[in-house]
Structure 1
Amino acid sequence: MKILAINPGSTSTKIAVYEDETPRLVLNIRHSVEELSEFSRIIDQFEFRKQLVLQALQENGIPFEFDAIVGRGGLLKPIPGGVYEVNDAMLDDIAHAMRSHACNLGCLIASELAELLPGCRAFIADPGVVDELDEIARITGSPLMPRITIWHALNQRAIARRYAAEQGTRYEDLDLIICHLGGGISVGTHRHGRAVDVNNALDGEGPFSPERAGTLPAGQLIDLCNSGRFTRDELKKRISGRAGLTAHLGTTDIPAIIKRIEEGDEHARLVLDAMIYQIAKHVGAAAVVLYGKVDAILLTGGIAHSEYIISRLRERISFLAPVHVYPGEDELEALALNVLSALRGELPIQVYQ
């Protein structure tokens, strides 16, 4: 099986070519601020990014011959996890998506490229809107605002399956807490193969992160919204994009922040330790969901490379369950292997409606 995986991000488009489980090409196509500034909306970048994918394949001598093309899932309506074949309903919902993110381009590019090849199929897998919450977890103090989930479903699930394989068991037989530590931070409670509780890591819940504000004091937020100081779009950026570490410290660069701490910057120490503190609090809350019966806590994402952060997290959470660290993320591999399993009949191919 030849599979092309496409993962559009804010400033890059990552692609990988797999033959069965073997990667033949893994490439990160970076986009400059100047290139992207030509487009007023993210959706307008579609043709630009699609052509770059085709160009990259040609330059690397990869024949345009695939059994399947899989794109990173976009911000669709809430759906259960799994592999979905791209259909008209999905494309229509992406065209009218209420939230804008580069990941929305994934299924669009996959669909259009697959149409160029006879017999080729287009898929997405475990998009960020996967919703398997227990009903009790949806309730908030206001019926106007039920909880929603936007999280790193693809990487969390891939890491969960990897850990399960290492332990000689199945993801569906484990109770796990998984933290994806990146520009946004999601803390997922996985009970026997379902993410029964997880925060909205995009725009308004959970620990603050390098780019996100996380949970904020509601009264103060309402006052700020009505202060006249900011427009609606500016306020949105104050909770997602220009928030968290970048709002406090002017950067999302963890090694640079740690260097400042080593040079005596006590404010930087306080802010970074506060982020670690909040992550640990949410891990503790996740343990309550599982009645304290946690098989393991898995830490993943780019920030998991930081010994400063991981060592301090361990100090706070290791009493709950064994802690295992999987630095970085390999969403391209997760996309390709999900689809490979679906094509082999090992995973069901679900229908988006």
Structure 2
Amino acid sequence: MAKILTLNLGSTSSKIALFDNHTCMISETVRHSVEEVSGNVEEQTAFRLKVVIYFLESHNITSFDAVAARGGLLKPMAGGTYLINDTMTADLKISKYGTHASNISTLLGGRLSKEYNIPAYIVDPVVVDEMIPMTRMTGLQQIERRSIFHALNQKAVARNYAERIHKSYEDLNLVVAHLGGGITVGTHAYGQVVDVNDGLTGEGPFSPERAGSLPADQLARLVIEEQLTTKDVATLLSKKGGFVSHFGTTDAIIIEQKAQNGDQKARLAYEAMAYQIARSIAAASVYFNGKADQIIITGGLAYSNLLVNMIIERVKFIADVTVMPGEKEMEALTAGVLRVINQEEQPKVYE
């Protein structure tokens, strides 16, 4: 029996849990004020460490076998479970590849690893990149497509589906659509996500927050006319697009209620988003010549029967659809570490 301390630190909350194998024994979500999370990397690491120590002490937890931490913004890497090492933490301390709350999860994992003399790991971070040259290439030599997506949840639900049908994830061809504040659709070919949209600022369906793919000339004209900086553009595409742009809210429940109460613009927005998701799913299946083994729909928006049914109606000709709503990130992080502990896979090394 292995006890795993699992850490998933967000921008305004800290999710901490103790697992006994796959069973969650204790779990807490600690909310933080803006002031508490406004410090630099070093200050944030120290603050979040106090939160974790309080969790351990309040539940009389004195030992555990490993730490599972949410992976931060690192250099692109293949999917899998990675041992947290000094090279990884050095990159995160200077925010070499960007700043995000998940960086602190990894840094804390490294800190606890040394203090408790146990291994600490990250699992399928958002920078997982398994794209191939054909899917990465664009029509401009200066620009390549990049892989930024919900790797942890996409791979977790894909593995879960494979287990349900008593097959290996590495033996299946799947299309997985994660529907949340951002939307990503991945082509999972025998365990590798060979194609996926950049779910942060680049492409794909619009979502409650993201602008999604846009006509390049109109976007360029907007940037020039409004004299937007690079930061302005990133914010516009990742935080002020989608429902925020059209309705001033990220709350899909409100928009769905409006649609069901006869609001024509809200209905159109839901139909347009569903259409763009379905189109992305169909495009993702082209890698398999349209012969995917299964389509999986997951994420918070997958709880919406209205949205999901709109999507299924358009993609059911490709393959059967399995709906696995929500996100089980804590379970996915723990499962990745247990695969290493149980010698089902080898830990990877960040270099």
Specify the TM-score bucket, using the shorter chain as the normaliser: over 0.9
User: 1:116 is paired with a residue of what secondary structure?
Assistant: helix
Structure-1-length-normalised TM-score: 0.94
Cα deviation, 1:87-109, whole Å, max 9, x if unaligned, reads 12111222333332222222111
Q: Is the 8 A contact 2:91 2:97 kept in 1?
A: no
321-330 vs 126-135, which moves further: 126-135
Unmatched segments (≥5 aa) in structure 1: none
Cα distance change on mapping 1:228 and 1:311 into 2, 3 Å = closer
| Residue 350 of structure 1: aligned partner | 348
Structure-2-length-normalised TM-score: 0.95
| Per-residue deviation, 1:45 | 2.6
Unmatched segments (≥5 aa) in structure 2: none
Cα deviation, 1:288-326, whole Å, max 9, x if unaligned, reads 111111110000111111111111111111111000000
Q: Is the 8 A contact 1:175 1:295 kept in 2?
A: yes
| Residue 125 of structure 2: aligned partner | 127
| Per-residue deviation, 1:279 | 0.6
| Residue 175 of structure 2: aligned partner | 177
Correspondence for 1:195 among 181, 190, 193: 193
C-alpha distance in structure 2 between counterparts of 1:289 and 1:229, whole Å? 39
Cα deviation, 1:66-101, whole Å, max 9, x if unaligned, reads 211121111211111111001121112223333322
| Residue 320 of structure 1: aligned partner | 318
Cα distance change on mapping 1:209 and 1:124 into 2, 3 Å = same
Q: Is the 8 A contact 1:156 1:179 kept in 2?
A: yes
C-alpha distance in structure 1 between counterparts of 2:31 and 2:295, whole Å? 33
| Per-residue deviation, 1:34 | 5.0
AA paired with 2:32? H
Alignment of 1:101-116 (within 5 A): 101-116=100-115
Alignment of 1:1-353 (within 5 A): 1-33=2-34, 35-36=36-37, 38-39=38-39, 44-59=43-58, 61-94=59-92, 95-118=94-117, 120-353=118-351
230-239 vs 122-131, which moves further: 230-239
User: 2:49 is paired with a residue of what secondary structure?
Assistant: helix
| Per-residue deviation, 1:270 | 1.3
C-alpha distance in structure 2 between counterparts of 1:141 and 1:62, whole Å? 58
C-alpha distance in structure 2 between counterparts of 1:269 and 1:100, whole Å? 36
C-alpha distance in structure 2 between counterparts of 1:98 and 1:224, whole Å? 27
97-106 vs 283-292, which moves further: 97-106
Cα deviation, 1:91-140, whole Å, max 9, x if unaligned, reads 1222333332222222111111222113x111101111111112100100
| Per-residue deviation, 1:166 | 0.8
318-327 vs 15-24, which moves further: 15-24
Cα distance change on mapping 1:272 and 1:99 into 2, 3 Å = farther
User: 2:122 is paired with a residue of what secondary structure?
Assistant: strand
Cα deviation, 1:313-351, whole Å, max 9, x if unaligned, reads 111111110000001011111111110110221111111
| Per-residue deviation, 1:254 | 1.5
C-alpha distance in structure 2 between counterparts of 1:71 and 1:153, whole Å? 14
AA paired with 2:55? A
Q: Is the 8 A contact 2:259 2:266 kept in 1?
A: yes
Q: Is the 8 A contact 2:75 2:97 kept in 1?
A: no
Q: Is the 8 A contact 1:42 1:101 kept in 2?
A: no
C-alpha distance in structure 2 between counterparts of 1:267 and 1:197, whole Å? 32
| Per-residue deviation, 1:42 | 6.6
Cα deviation, 1:128-177, whole Å, max 9, x if unaligned, reads 11111121001001111111101111111111111111111111111000
C-alpha distance in structure 2 between counterparts of 1:100 and 1:214, whole Å? 22
Cα deviation, 1:35-63, whole Å, max 9, x if unaligned, reads 43x43x5775322222222222323x141
User: 1:111 is paired with a residue of what secondary structure?
Assistant: helix
C-alpha distance in structure 1 between counterparts of 2:197 and 2:42, whole Å? 26
Q: Which runs of 4+ in 1 moved over 6 A?
A: none
User: 1:219 is paired with a residue of what secondary structure?
Assistant: helix
